[in-house]
Structures are given as C-alpha cells and as structure tokens.
Structure 1
C-alpha cells in the first residue's frame, strides 16, 4: 500500500488575521508568528521585531496569547504586538509613563498603544524612543 504524505497543517488565523501560535519563549515562536502573517502586516511586524531586537541588546522574546512579547528578563514585558484587520497594534504595557505617551489610550491602568496601518506607516524615530524608554521601565508580569 502506498504511503500517504500528510500536509503540514496551516496555521489557524484568528479574528483580524492574527495567527494562532503555540505559547513559547525565545525568537523561534516570534519568527513562526511573523511567518504565519500575510500581506503588509507581515512586513510591519517583521520590521518592528528587527527594530526592537536592534535597539534593545539582550531583549527577551516570547509568544503568549497569540501575541509576540518583548521584555528584559523573560518574566516581565514592556511591549506586545497584536494584528488586527486594519492595523498592527503595538502595546506599550507601561505606556502612560512614557513622555510623550503613545497616542492611543487603553482601558488598562498603565498601557498605551500605537496603531500602525498600511496607510499610516511607522514613525521609526518616535517608535525607537518609546522602545528605549519602555525597555528601561519596569515590565508587566504576564
């Protein structure tokens, strides 16, 4: 009887095109998340990942709740990414302590967001200033 090759299952996409990626620590789960994205959102998240990695030596990465997280100690996190239909939401978990604050308010006590869309590209200089400051502030335990 001939053997059947089974195709690798595709990554399930959740609301807004956010990929369902297994929870894990390190760069590999984050790269799997990025690889599962499509269109302009993949380019945006890849660029954000590269900027954070370059700007914050020794940054720790993980995927939890289908979102890449970035932190300094592997237990607390200063930044997270979540893909939506029309934008990529970058969460600065202690964003209300940043000066100036990222532009989008949050229902949570300390967070602020930056939305990056295909029409509104990333302001790299402003983003990097927030990343530097956020990486030096206490992270959020998640």
Structure 2
C-alpha cells in the first residue's frame, strides 16, 4: 500500500510541474519538523556571556520607565526604583521612604510596570510611573483627597502629582495625601 501512495503523489507532482511549465517533475517533499523556538533577542544573548556574571542593565521603555517583572513585596519595588534613570531614582527612593513612614503596613508590588502601594483588604491607593521629564504619582481616589492633587486624569476619581527634576516636593502635603489615600477603598489588588 505504501508503494501505491508514493507513486500516486509522484504523478500528482509531475502533473503540477507540467502545468507550471516545468520540464522536470518535482520530487514530492518530505515533511520537515520545524522548531518552535525563536532566535534569541540581543538582550537575551547579552546575558549569556562566557565571562563572570555581570548584572544586566534593566530595559527602559519609552519615557525611561524601567521594565521590571511583575512581583509582590518590597524587592520588586526596590529593583524598579534602582532602575529608574538618573535623578528619578532619588525621587523614587524619597517617595518610597515617605510612603512607608506614613503607612508602615503598606503592601507593595510592581504591576503594569509601575510600583503600586496599597493596604491589604482595601486595594491599591497609589502608583508611580516614569516619563521622560517627570515622575508621575497617581492617587487612584485622588478626587476624595483634600486638597485635591493638581493633575487631572481621564479617570473620574484619579488625580496625579507630576514631579520634575528641579521641583521642590512638599513632603508634608505628600504625606497628608498618602495618609488620606490609604484610608480610602482602593483599586483591586
């Protein structure tokens, strides 16, 4: 039976070649197993050096926002802050310290490529994101804070605080917003 199938497929290939105007009949092709593995990216090959282990530089997305893997707890947030470029890293450390001082039991995570701060059982109340010229702090229930943070959002309840390199941060006001925000129901954890 196997011989008949081979002869039949050879005839079909011969007819197809004749229709295309080929002078010689093409041999039937054998099925080739293809690997689903893709060619490694430059970033992946850069981490596979033969020398001593060197910490890879974090990838910066547009605007200079570090690409840090999703994770819960202080470690991923500290990795994000350490990867923030230039002066933004100092701002990140300062904000993190103020948040922890104001809400000692704060929950932390990196989600949606941004550090998130929340209260267990209440949800996320604040997020941080890097842009080219500023660090944006999002208060998810910002319209309920007094005074209302200055930056408007397309989201009805969210308000922003943009911190630029030369801005003086009013730590007392920021801490007051953090305290108020931590006492409100937040975004789903």
Contact 2:107–2:120 (Cα < 8 Å) also in 1: yes
How far the C-alpha of 1:141 sits from its partner, in A, is 1.2
Contact 1:95–1:112 (Cα < 8 Å) also in 2: yes
Pick the aligned partner of 1:21 from 48, 56, 68.
68
Instruction: Determine if the alignment matches structure 1 residue 97 to structure 2 residue 138.
Output: no
Write 1 or 2 for the structure with the bigger share of strand.
Answer: 1
Matches of 1:41 and 1:74, distance apart in 2: 30
Q: 1:109 to 1:25 in 2, by over 3 A?
A: same
* Superposed counterparts of 1:38-77, under 5 Å: 38-73=85-120, 76-77=123-124
How far the C-alpha of 1:57 sits from its partner, in A, is 1.6
Q: Which runs of 4+ in 1 moved over 3 A?
A: none
User: Any stretches of 5+ residues in structure 2 without a counterpart?
Assistant: 1-48
Instruction: Determine if the alignment matches structure 1 residue 4 to structure 2 residue 53.
Output: no
Matches of 2:104 and 2:158, distance apart in 1: 23
* Residue of structure 1 in register with 2:8 after alignment: none
TM-score calculated relative to the size of structure 1 = 0.93
How far the C-alpha of 1:7 sits from its partner, in A, is 3.8
- String of CA shifts for 1:39-71, please: whole Å, max 9, x gaps: 110000110000001110200000011100000
Contact 2:143–2:158 (Cα < 8 Å) also in 1: yes
* Residue of structure 1 in register with 2:181 after alignment: 134
Q: Alignment RMSD, CA only? A: 1.6
TM-score calculated relative to the size of structure 2 = 0.71
Instruction: Determine if the alignment matches structure 1 residue 115 to structure 2 residue 115.
Output: no
Q: How many residues align?
A: 140
Matches of 2:90 and 2:55, distance apart in 1: 24
Matches of 2:122 and 2:58, distance apart in 1: 26
Matches of 1:91 and 1:119, distance apart in 2: 20
> Which of these two proteins has the greater Rg computed from alpha carbons?
2
